[in-house]
Amino acid sequence: MTTPPFGFTSKESNHNAVQLSIIIPFFNEREVLSLCHARLTPILNSLSESYEIVFVDDGSTDDSISILAAIIPTHPKTKVVRLSRNFGKEAAMSAGLAHATGAAIIVLDADLQDPPELIPKMVQAWRSGVDVVSMRRRRRHGEGWLKRFSAFSFYRILSGLSRSQIPSDTGDFRLMSRRVVDLLLLFPERCRYMKGLYAWVGFPTAILDYDRDPRAAGTTKWNYLALFGLALEGITSFSTAPLRWAAALGTIVALFGGFFGFWILLKTVLFGHDVPGYPSLMAMITLLSGIQLLTIGLLGEYAGKAYMESKQRPLYVVRDVIDMNTVGASDLSSADRANIVSL
Ligand code: UDP
Ligand code: MG
């Protein structure tokens, strides 16, 4: 398969060369990559389906790539799509989807939080005729209450807002049929909230429950600020309801202000009271400027999104694809090569 430099490759992709593709996006995961590969391969070998493992190196700056380059010569079904820099997990997943050739595609985290042991069950569900097998987290081991609570609230707010039903507590760990993936690859949008896009596509879906394991090693790549950004991305990509809320809030506050003014006027004219002074004025000004700034920010969020989309930049850039044929010839740096030899 030729290496496309940019996204949008679904039409040229060599469909169904294998039955099952496993996509693993990763960013600086040197501690878990060999563990992940070692746990995954016996499970895939036990299946009757032919398979490929597509790692997507999302611009790692550690020696993750040399760990995989050392694995590839003995595991020809494994390849690595290396991006030119860190584009974020959503873009890395899109790169993986574009390079996967399977009739069914499974997205998996490198840190083994999504147990690969569930793959046979997912394949079985797919064979029974569904297009999507979503994995719903029953329990999240090794994640603090704040993360669990924020995830819980976010999924519920989002599904309340969005027209397409985005199932709660399902992440990126899922199986998708070729036609679903082909559709996803046609989406032109740059701001990609994948969990929303999966739901938007629709198609018959099976939901399997599982317990999410703690990370096998290494540290999470998300902090709360990044998660807040992703949550905002999710909501603004799939709903314009916050704009309506802003308008509703503006109406309520304006009505309140009107009545309040009328009340002061009445008090002054009928009872000769003084106009209440500085503190109430300050309170009103602060309240109103807060609401104004919030709504301007909200408007800006949507305008910014339209601006980003209008630039039509590629989603990601592929530096190279390292597989059985190219592992010797790829532009691994001399430091990378030294690492391969020493492994
Ligand atoms: N990841 C990625 N690009 C990024 C951040 C994360 O490809 O910019 C990968 C990461 O290596 C892992 C998966 O996305 O395979 C999930 O990330 P992580 O475990 O850090 O997130 P969490 O499970 O804590 O939500
Ligand atoms: Mg994780």
Q: What confidence score (pLDDT) does residue 270 get?
A: 84
- The answer to whether residue 279 scores a pLDDT higher than 80 is no
User: CATH homologous superfamily of domain 7-239+315-342?
Assistant: Spore Coat Polysaccharide Biosynthesis Protein SpsA; Chain A (3.90.550.10)
Percent of the chain with pLDDT strictly greater than 90:
26
- By most ligand atoms within 8 Å of CB, the mutation choice from 30, 35, 111 for ligand 1 is 111
Ligand closest to 28 (CA) is: 1
- By most ligand atoms within 8 Å of CB, the mutation choice from 22, 23, 27, 60 for ligand 1 is 27
Chain-wide mean pLDDT for the chain? 81
Q: What confidence score (pLDDT) does residue 141 get?
A: 63
Residues near 99 by beta carbon (within 8 Å), at least 6 away in sequence? 1, 9, 13, 54, 56, 79, 81, 321
Nearest CA to ligand 1 atom 23: 220
CA of residue 29 to ligand 1 center, whole Å: 9
Phi, psi angles (nearest 5°) of residue 25: -75, 140
Phi, psi angles (nearest 5°) of residue 176: -135, 145
- Region of 50 (left: φ > 0; alpha: ψ -120 to 50; beta: rest) is beta
Atom of ligand 1 nearest to the CA of 93: 7
Q: What confidence score (pLDDT) does residue 205 get?
A: 87
**Number of helices followed by number of strands (H, E) in the chain:** 11, 8
Q: Which segments of the chain are extended strands (E)?
A: 20-26, 51-57, 78-83, 104-107, 132-140, 170-177, 205-212, 318-322
Rounded mean pLDDT, 303-330 = 82
Q: What confidence score (pLDDT) does residue 171 get?
A: 82
d(CA 108, CA 115) in angstroms, rounded, equals: 9
Greatest CA separation for the chain: 93
Which range, 73-77, 149-153, 196-200, is most confident?
73-77
Higher pLDDT, 245 or 29: 29
Rounded mean pLDDT, 56-85 = 91
Q: Is the dihedral of CA 115, 116, 121, 123 positive or negative?
A: positive
CA of residue 168 to ligand 1 center, whole Å: 19
Atom of ligand 1 nearest to the CA of 88: 8
Q: What is the pTM of this model?
A: 0.73
Closest C-alpha among 129, 139, 141, 206 to residue 167: 206
Task: Give domain limits for the chain.
Answer: 7-239+315-342, 241-310
Atom of ligand 1 nearest to the CA of 25: 7
Atom of ligand 1 nearest to the CA of 27: 11
Q: Is the dihedral of CA 278, 279, 283, 289 positive or negative?
A: positive
d(CA 60, CA 26) in angstroms, rounded, equals: 8
Query: In sequence order, what are the beta bridge partners of 133?
Result: 175, 206
Query: In sequence order, what are the beta bridge partners of 132?
Result: 176, 205
List residues near ligand 1 (CB under 6 A). 25-27, 29, 58, 86, 88-89, 92, 109-111, 113, 220-222
- Region of 284 (left: φ > 0; alpha: ψ -120 to 50; beta: rest) is alpha
Rounded mean pLDDT, 239-261 = 80
Q: What confidence score (pLDDT) does residue 1 get?
A: 41
> What is the band of 39 on the pLDDT scale with cuts at 50, 70, 90?
very high
Closest C-alpha among 159, 104, 154, 112 to residue 133: 104
CA of residue 331 to ligand 2 center, whole Å: 29
Q: What confidence score (pLDDT) does residue 7 get?
A: 47
Q: What confidence score (pLDDT) does residue 336 get?
A: 53
- Chain segment 47-69, per-residue pLDDT in tens: 988 999 999 999 999 888 988 98
d(CA 32, CA 90) in angstroms, rounded, equals: 20
Residues near 84 by beta carbon (within 8 Å), at least 6 away in sequence? 59, 316, 317, 318, 319
CB 95 within 8 A of CB 13: no
